[in-house]
Amino acid sequence: MIYKAKASHIGGAFSVIDILTSLYLGNILKVSPDSPDAPDRDRLIFSKGHCTSALYAVLAMKGFFSKDLLERFGEDESLLLCHTSHHLPGVEFSTGSLGHGLSFATGCALAAKRLSRTWKTYAILSDGELNEGSTWEAIQSAAHLRLNNLVAVIDANRSQGLGNTDSVLKLTPLAGKFAAFNWDVIEIEGHDHEQILHATSIDRSEHDSPLCIIAHTTKGKGVNFMEGKLEWHYRSPNEKERDQALEQLSR
């Protein structure tokens, strides 16, 4: 997809792909391609919309739309623009401007509470968008509202637009920050499906705060020449790099 569209953000797509795969294909999320708008479905808000190629791929695998559509990523008249779009079945919320997802997710979780419904809401955030003040407004709000039906998963690849997160705007201690804002926090290895499945399926009914899962990940995971390299936030692979990457990923 990214090669064909000459698109960016492959690094962040590879850091979040295991999280998405576990949630959708590991059947954590109660969603169904047969009724993408079912009122009581779980909601997943993908806030790091620039890495939407990963979400689209997983939604296609799940059956929300044909895998053929993926070939048209970023093309004229395609439904698949290069940021997350709600015009596609299975997508709750369009993103691309960082720092919007958690507020919207908070609204979905609050709606479930106020309507006495049981759906859960998951928000997937990048660590870079924790720079945004709006994200921290939402962090305060969700904890204040005691939304134990809300889970935020942070794709903590420690890298953002122009460098390492701590060198851009110091983020550590991240777990301590969420804890100080009255969230429950757990840290996991974000490419370990067992750990992701476990953390995202914890029964929260006895808790009275939202849960933050800090998933430690690697940007460009799975492709040795991409891992941890800032340039893969921007670059699109050429044909040779694509083939090498596919070869490494299929191992």
Partner 1 sequence: MRQAFIEELTLLAETNLNLFLIVGDLGYSVVEPFAERFPDRFLNAGVAEQNMTGLAAGLASCGFHVFTYSIANFPTLRCLEQIRNDVCYHNLPVTVVSVGGGMAYGNLGYSHHATEDLAVTLPLPNIRVIAPGDPFETRLATRELCKKPGPSYLRLGKAREPTIHAAIDGIKDLRTLQILQEGSDVMLVSTGGILEQVKAAAERLTQSGICAGYSSSPYLKPFDEAGLLSIALKTKIIISVEEHGVGGLSSLISETLHRNNMNTLFRCLKTQTENYKFVGSQKHLRAKHGLDEEHISSFAMTCLADLADAT
Ligand X SMILES: Cc1ncc(C[n+]2csc(CCOP(=O)(O)OP(=O)(O)O)c2C)c(N)n1
Binding partner of residue 107 among ligand X, partner 1, none, CB cut-off 5 to 8 Å per kind? partner 1
Neighbouring-strand partners of residue 152:
123, 212
User: In angstroms, what is the minimal distance from the CB of 197 to ligand X?
Assistant: 21
Interface ranges with partner 1 (CB under 8 A):
39, 86, 92-97, 99-100, 102-112, 114-115, 133-134, 137-138, 140-141, 144
128 contacts ligand X (rule: CB under 6 A): yes
Binding partner of residue 54 among partner 1, ligand X, none, CB cut-off 5 to 8 Å per kind? none
Return phi, psi of residue 214, to 5°.
Answer: -90, 110
From 31-39, 73-81, 95-103, 180-188, give the range in contact with ligand X by CB under 6 A. Answer: 95-103
CB 236 within 8 A of CB 7: yes
Indicate the residue among 149 and 157 with the shorter CB distance to ligand X: 157
Element (H, E) at 242: helix 239-249
18 contacts ligand X (rule: CB under 6 A): no
216 contacts ligand X (rule: CB under 6 A): no
Distance, in Å, from the CA atom of 191 to the CA atom of 142, rounded to the nearest integer, reads 26
Binding partner of residue 128 among ligand X, partner 1, none, CB cut-off 5 to 8 Å per kind? ligand X
Indicate the residue among 33 and 173 with the shorter CB distance to ligand X: 173
Distance, in Å, from the CA atom of 112 to the CA atom of 147, rounded to the nearest integer, reads 10
Distance, in Å, from the CA atom of 24 to the CA atom of 33, rounded to the nearest integer, reads 11
Interacting residues with ligand X between 33 and 72 (CB under 6 A): 48, 50-51
Indicate the residue among 106 and 165 with the shorter CB distance to partner 1: 106
Q: Which residues contact 71 (CB under 8 A, 6 or more apart)?
A: 1, 4
Distance, in Å, from the CA atom of 136 to the CA atom of 196, rounded to the nearest integer, reads 24
User: In angstroms, what is the minimal distance from the CB of 115 to ligand X?
Assistant: 31
Distance, in Å, from the CA atom of 213 to the CA atom of 163, rounded to the nearest integer, reads 23
- One of 5, 10, 12, 232 touching ligand X (CB under 6 A): 12
- One of 88, 98, 151, 188 touching ligand X (CB under 6 A): 98
Strands (E), 35-170: 43-46, 121-126, 150-156, 159-160, 163-164
| Residues 69, 13, 192, 181, CA torsion sign | negative
237 contacts ligand X (rule: CB under 6 A): no
Residues that bind ligand X (CB under 6 A): 9, 12, 15, 48, 50-51, 96-99, 126-129, 155, 157, 159-161, 219, 233
